[in-house]
Amino acid sequence: MTDTTLAEPTTDWADPSRPVPDLRTELPGPLTREVVAGDQAITSPSLPRAYPFAPRRARGCRIEDVDGNLFLDFNAGIAVNSTGHAHPEVVRAVQEQAADLLHYSASDFFLPVYSQMCHALARTAPMSEPVRVFLTNSGAEAVEGALKLARYATKRPYVISFFGAFHGRTMGAVSLTSSKPKYHQGFGPLLPGVLHVPYADPAKVAAGEDASDTATFDALETIFRHDVAPSEVAAIFVEPIQGEGGYIVPGEGWMRRLRELCDEHGILLVADEVQCGMGRTGTMWAIEQTGVEPDVLLSAKGIASGLPLGAFIAKASLMESWGTGTHGSTYGGSPVPCAAGLATLRVIESEGLLEHARTVGDQVLAGLREIQAAHPEAVVDVRGVGLMIGVELADPALSAAVQQAAFERGLLVLEAGESVVRMSPPLVVTPEEAQTGLRIFGEAVAAAAGAASHGG
């Protein structure tokens, strides 16, 4: 990987010789407390907040808060800042595009950068036949678009998703989501025609059992026998690696069996790669590692290194089934996010970030397994692919305590599932930064486990 960050002029705060983490105040600091107070007085209380962190500026994997404390970022804004914070090439592309054209709707006019981004994504598509692309503002919008397309193209009313799945919070997307009851509570009735079945069992995968033989397919068989005929199912929405549900990696054969079932019944397979895509697993798309082709692929988060952009990529034969005006978006694929997206794809290729994600990901996985061996009573499982890594703790209280202890030591990580702490650093994370993160995380696990054993 080429370290272009060091070649660029830096300000004092981002001086590469400055240690990271570098905590200069108590946490949260006085200015952060002011930000939190002002935020809580005006923003929607629906916003979930992991810990009192108020970022001011960032570069690479380093992020400084408003009090001047420097943190090591191992969550990348929830797996969004794929090429690192403020990558020079992405920033340059944004500045140049903003100076030329901030917005013109690609829904009604022929915006050059829109089709350029679509062509660039199409070249990465894990499908062997031609594809077409629709750009959105977010992952949830990509899910909504794919849901509409699936029903429109198949003329079938039902869709299937998985327990533990997270597909977004808009009405259709949240109907597919099944990671926490609170996402549904109070919003019913949800979108009709959505069914859920169990995802791959991480315990079986960890035990080395045949992951293709899980409760997933028994549940699907039961649904098809007693509830809904498979000829009525338009699509199965699946995360090739489940994200918010706990960074669960299905075992060998699970995805292939799902593809075979879809083929048998004419059901579309929709791969939601909003979190696991864009190189995070060491291939551009996680599903590539299964040998399976989806009918539709969804992307967002890391697609534009931090700007709002999403997409659904579908086989051309499928996308061409709907006509003019059946779907559109005023802002989806706006010029500045598209410019950032094109730059992101260039950086991933030119800096060898796919191979880098595999190499550093292996380093992090190995280090975390050493932590697991040192604290077997606290760390139940370590799993992941590339730089999409989950650490399952003994219980939810312990995972929350580990997340907080890491924050207090200057490492930013996030919980997932019921008792998992996820690590999804920018793809540019260096081996040295990875080693620092492992050291701090080990300290956080030791502290949280020690406090738990003493009833703290």
The single-letter code of the amino acid at 303 is I
Distance, CA of 121 to CA of 131 (rounded, Å): 10
Query: Burial of 341 by CB count in 10 Å (0-12 exposed, 13-18 middle, 19+ buried)?
Result: buried
Q: Where are the beta strands (DSSP E) in 50-145?
A: 55-59, 62-65, 70-73, 131-136
DSSP code of residue 248: B
Rounded-to-integer distance, Cα 370 and Cα 108, Å: 55
Do 379 and 412 fall into the same domain? yes
> What's 69's DSSP letter?
-
136 shares its domain with 283: yes
> Are 53 and 168 members of one domain?
no
150-176 burial, b at 16+ Cβ within 10 Å, e below that, comes to bbbbbebebbbbbebbbbbeeebbbbb
DSSP state of 346: H
**Total domain count, the chain:** 2
* Residue 331 sits in the same domain as residue 376: no
Asked if residue 20 belongs to a domain, the reply is no
Look at residue 13 and tell me if it is in a domain: no
What distances in angstroms separate CA 112 from CA 116, 197, 220, 328, one per listed residue? 6, 42, 44, 17
Phi/psi of residue 415, nearest 5 degrees? -75, 160
Does one domain contain both 345 and 374?
no
Q: Is 447 helix (H, G, I), strand (E, B) or coil?
A: helix
Task: Report whether 333 contacts 312 (CB < 8 A).
Answer: no
Question: Domain for residue 292, yes or no?
Answer: yes
The answer to the question of residue 290 being in a domain is yes
- Give the CA dihedral 199, 202, 207, 213, nearest 10 degrees: 0
- pLDDT at residue 3, as a whole number: 45
Identify the CATH number of the domain in which residue 444 sits: 3.90.1150.10
User: Which of 298, 327, 351 marks a domain boundary?
Assistant: 351
The CATH number that applies at residue 189 is 3.40.640.10
State how far the alpha carbon of 88 is from the alpha carbons of 8, 74, 101, in Å: 7, 20, 20
157 and 245 in a single domain? The answer is yes
Tokens 């397309």 appear where?
149
Q: Is 366 in the same domain as 316?
A: no
Q: Are residues 37 and 135 in the same domain?
A: no
214: its two tokens: 């899980």
The reply to whether 214 and 174 lie within a common domain is: yes
Note down pLDDT in tens along the chain; length 456 residues: 444 343 344 458 888 889 999 999 999 999 999 999 999 999 999 999 999 999 999 999 999 999 999 999 999 999 999 999 999 999 999 999 999 999 999 999 999 999 999 999 999 999 999 999 999 999 999 999 999 999 999 999 999 999 999 999 999 999 999 999 999 999 999 999 999 999 998 877 766 665 566 889 999 999 999 999 999 999 999 999 999 999 999 998 999 999 999 999 999 999 999 999 999 999 999 999 999 999 999 999 999 999 999 999 999 999 999 999 999 999 999 999 999 999 999 999 999 999 999 999 999 999 999 999 999 999 999 999 999 999 999 999 999 999 999 999 999 999 999 999 999 999 999 999 999 999 999 999 999 999 877 765
C-alpha 61: how far from its chain's center? 17
Together in a domain, 156 and 275:
yes
Q: How many CB atoms lie within 10 A of CB 67?
A: 20
The domain of 132 spans: 90-351
Is 10 a member of any domain?
A: no
32 to 26, 38, 86, 396, 402: CA distances (angstroms): 10, 10, 22, 27, 21
User: Which of 309, 327, 351 is a domain's end point?
Assistant: 351
Domain contains 18: no
User: 358 with 326, same domain?
Assistant: no
Q: Which amino acid is at 343?
A: A
* DSSP classification of residue 331: S
Same domain for 252 and 396, yes or no, is: no
Identify the domain boundary among 332, 351, 370.
351
